[in-house]
């Protein structure tokens, strides 16, 4: 049976337990559930918030395209990706991936793939706001992120 992933872009927080349960509750074919949560770091106390800008429409579509690729590549029983936008203080959630499968390898790999592609393909940008009141700089993309994503195309 073809799995339809869930992809959401929202300003409000998400509930990891709730999203995980949605992929496993009442089922007996799920043997592995991998969740990845990306949180906002305080950068040694210097950061007051990260402002996540996104491209409405394209962000949702791109998350769904990435999720569809994962579903075709691995035998998943369910896949959920949630990405927040807006101003996010340290300690709060930014992004969630939940991958469910009969076996662990597929779930781990799908979650890893999703994060690598999301970092390089999904139209989100982070701006730092600093504790000293300065509006800091835009976070620069890391060259390593492209290399990570390239691992999956070989």
Partner 1 sequence: MNIRYFAWVRERVGLEEETIEVPASVKTVADLIGHLKSLDENHAAAFEEEDAIRVALDQLHVEADAELGDAREAAFFPPMTGG
78: nearest Cα among 56, 102, 61: 102
Q: Judged by CB, which is closer to partner 1: 6, or 61?
A: 61
**CB of 149: closest distance to partner 1 in angstroms?**
11
Q: Judged by CB, which is closer to partner 1: 67, or 77?
A: 67
User: Where along the sequence are the contacts to partner 1 (CB under 8 A)?
Assistant: 38, 52-55, 57-58, 61, 83, 94-95, 115, 118-127, 138-141
Q: Judged by CB, which is closer to partner 1: 6, or 127?
A: 127
Q: Rounded to whole angstroms, how far apart are CA atoms 37 and 33?
A: 13
Q: 138 is written with which tokens? A: 């835009």
**CB of 57: closest distance to partner 1 in angstroms?**
6
**CB of 65: closest distance to partner 1 in angstroms?**
9
Q: Rounded to whole angstroms, how far apart are CA atoms 113 and 125?
A: 20
Q: Judged by CB, which is closer to partner 1: 17, or 135?
A: 135
**CB of 115: closest distance to partner 1 in angstroms?**
6
Cα angle 57, 5, 50 (rounded to 5 degrees) comes to 50
């Amino acid at each position: 049976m073809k799995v339809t992933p869930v992809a959401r872009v929202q300003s409000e927080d998400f509930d990891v337990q709730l999203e995980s349960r949605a992929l496993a509750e009442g089922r007996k074919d799920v043997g592995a559930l991998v969740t990845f949560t990306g949180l906002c770091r305080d950068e040694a106390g210097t950061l007051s918030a990260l402002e996540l800008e996104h491209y409405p429409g394209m962000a949702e579509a791109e998350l769904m395209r990435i999720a569809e690729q994962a579903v075709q590549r691995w035998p998943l029983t369910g896949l959920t990706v949630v990405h927040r936008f807006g101003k996010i203080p340290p300690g709060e959630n930014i992004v969630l991936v939940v991958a469910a499968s009969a076996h662990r390898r597929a779930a781990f790999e799908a979650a890893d793939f999703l994060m690598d592609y999301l970092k390089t393909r999904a139209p989100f940008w982070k701006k730092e706001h600093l504790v000293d009141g300065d509006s800091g700089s835009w976070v620069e993309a890391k060259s390593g992120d492209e290399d990570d994503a390239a691992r999956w195309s070989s």
